Amino acid sequence: MKKKIPYIIAYWWVMTLFALGLFILILGNRDGGFSQSENRDLQGAPAFSLKNWFDGTFSREAEAYLSDQFPERDPVVKTADRMLSAFDATSEKERILDQSMIMELEGMNEGSEPVEDEPVLPDTPEDVTVPVLETPAPGTSALPTLPVSETPTPAPVSEETPAPTPVDPAVKDTSTVRRFSLRRSDGSLYTRFQFGQDAIEDTVKSLNAYRAALPENGNVIFTYIPYSQDANEWLLYPDNFSGWYSNVEPTLQANVDEGVYVFSTVNELEQYMQNGDLCFFKTDHHWTGLGAFYMQRLMMRSFGVPSISYDDFTYTVHENFTGSITSTVHSLAGYRNLSDRLEVPGMLAPTRAFVYRNVSELVKEVRYMEPERVVYAAFLGGTHDPFYVAETGFHTGHTALVICDSFGLAFVPYIAPYYDRVCLVDLRDTHSFITQTGGNNKLKPYIEHYGIEDVYFIVSRGCGVNSSYMRSIVRKYLG
């Protein structure tokens, strides 16, 4: 009798789960619905076919459907979150950070080699001489024009700078909801997350605040970049998805001040990704240098400035790069021994890079690139706190500031030829723009000291429109 009791318990437990699953399959919302608490579409009932049965699509969608249509799901999820939070060892500050920001931050460190505090510099004098700042004369054009000698394929530069025109993707979306979605093969949209009205208004305030802090003809350029996981999903499962979609950029552009320009990374890169270009890594959550280059080219061409070519650079190539999400990609996509191609660009002109504690206090000189490292931090040697300055060796008479998270690292090398000086700062709370400078550091003195004309916001979706980064942090540190 004692041996039968465990069997009876197990039997009825399995039968209960089977009955519950059958109940969900029959009475669940077959269209999926939308979860307000999670800000995403819920999985609808899977469609059966021999093809999706054998390729595993049916089982994945059925599992997601059972999970998403569980009775009283929202209260269960909230209760589970509260229980997990009670045993969470992270600090209160970390808990209140946007969760996608935390994912991005943690992803930077997974599988990466440690960044040396004092990298070895070839042929670097002991007494570093920092190039003297030469502020451009008032009235010059804020967006630079490449010297003809640096332009491989010169194009005529318009006398007046045309405003970039956001391009809507070829999908009919009559909804007023601002969202980022994956485009299903049938043309419908699978919404990943929405952009709240408050978040849009706050981001507009932040962009306008920086435009007001620049010279009269200064420019603010903004784009947010999805994580590679979003690209991997529709690229690895082409039978289910044909692309992605974002419609928040036209709304931002319609509400910002003159001199602020919003570009859609989602809309621009889709065409290249569909052609097989590696714009995002498969094993790392970042975009590639090629993806960053395509966005730089779009920005410059929108302003009538001739664009450099990706092939103008000499690259150190690593064929077996694996990054922060390797295990996740293997698990979800069924891949083994997956790796990426990491291309680290060299310099087009002698470039030196420096780290400053404040406007005038030099901390050290650092290497501009670290091409021997088989990690994403090979770009610029990773993030250098609190304030990074690259003296590019070009003579354009212009200076730019890139405000970013780690996605800005791959972007800087491709705008360097357009500026004498490119500054970079990462204002996430986990970085040290404030803590290393006595707690009162602000960006306005840097803008004035370096004669900065153009400010680029190059941020991942975790630091994008919905995040505290764009909504409040960047404005708080402006001063």
pLDDT tens for each residue of the chain, 479 residues long = 556 676 677 767 667 766 766 666 566 665 555 454 444 456 666 766 666 666 566 666 676 666 666 565 566 555 554 444 444 333 333 333 333 433 443 333 333 333 333 333 333 333 333 333 333 343 344 454 433 333 333 232 233 434 444 434 444 555 678 999 999 988 899 998 999 999 999 999 999 999 999 999 999 999 999 999 888 888 888 888 999 999 999 999 999 999 999 999 999 999 999 999 999 998 899 999 999 999 999 999 999 998 899 999 999 999 989 888 875 555 554 555 678 999 999 999 999 999 998 888 899 999 999 999 999 999 999 999 999 999 999 989 999 999 999 999 999 999 999 999 999 999 987 677 877 666 668 999 999 999 999 999 999 999 999 999 999 999 999 98
Report the alpha-carbon distance of residue 344 to residue 222 in Å, rounded.
24
| pLDDT for position 132 | 33
Residues 6+ apart with CB under 8 A from 450: 133, 389, 399, 401, 421, 423
| pLDDT for position 287 | 97
- Say if CB 266 and CB 272 are below 8 A apart: no
Report the alpha-carbon distance of residue 162 to residue 160 in Å, rounded.
6
Identify residue 454 by its one-letter amino acid code: D
| pLDDT for position 232 | 82
* Pick from 411, 377, 397: nearest CA to 221: 411
* Pick from 257, 207, 249: nearest CA to 226: 249
Three-state DSSP at 442 gives: coil
Residue 306 token pair: 């001739």
| pLDDT for position 239 | 87
- Say if CB 192 and CB 460 are below 8 A apart: no
pTM of the predicted model as reported, rounded to 2 decimal places: 0.69
Place of tokens 């690209």: 231
| pLDDT for position 453 | 96
- pLDDT tens-digit profile of 159-189? 343 444 443 444 455 567 899 999 998 889 9
Place of tokens 């004035």: 448
Identify residue 116 by its one-letter amino acid code: E
* Pick from 458, 450, 451: nearest CA to 474: 458
| pLDDT for position 51 | 61
Report the alpha-carbon distance of residue 318 to residue 327 in Å, rounded.
19
Report the alpha-carbon distance of residue 356 to residue 360 in Å, rounded.
7
- Say if CB 251 and CB 200 are below 8 A apart: yes
Report the alpha-carbon distance of residue 94 to residue 260 in Å, rounded.
32
State the CB neighbour count (10 A cutoff) for residue 198: 10
Report the alpha-carbon distance of residue 343 to residue 102 in Å, rounded.
26
| pLDDT for position 439 | 62
| pLDDT for position 185 | 87
Query: How many residues are present in the chain?
Result: 479
- Say if CB 392 and CB 422 are below 8 A apart: yes
Report the alpha-carbon distance of residue 169 to residue 85 in Å, rounded.
40
| pLDDT for position 9 | 72
> Chain-centre distance of CA 149, in angstroms?
33
Within 97-242, residue ranges assigned H as helices are: 99-109, 197-213, 228-236
* DSSP codes joined into one string, 190-219: EEEEE--HHHHHHHHHHHHHHHHHS-TT-E
Within 376-443, residue ranges assigned H as helices are: 408-415
| pLDDT for position 360 | 82
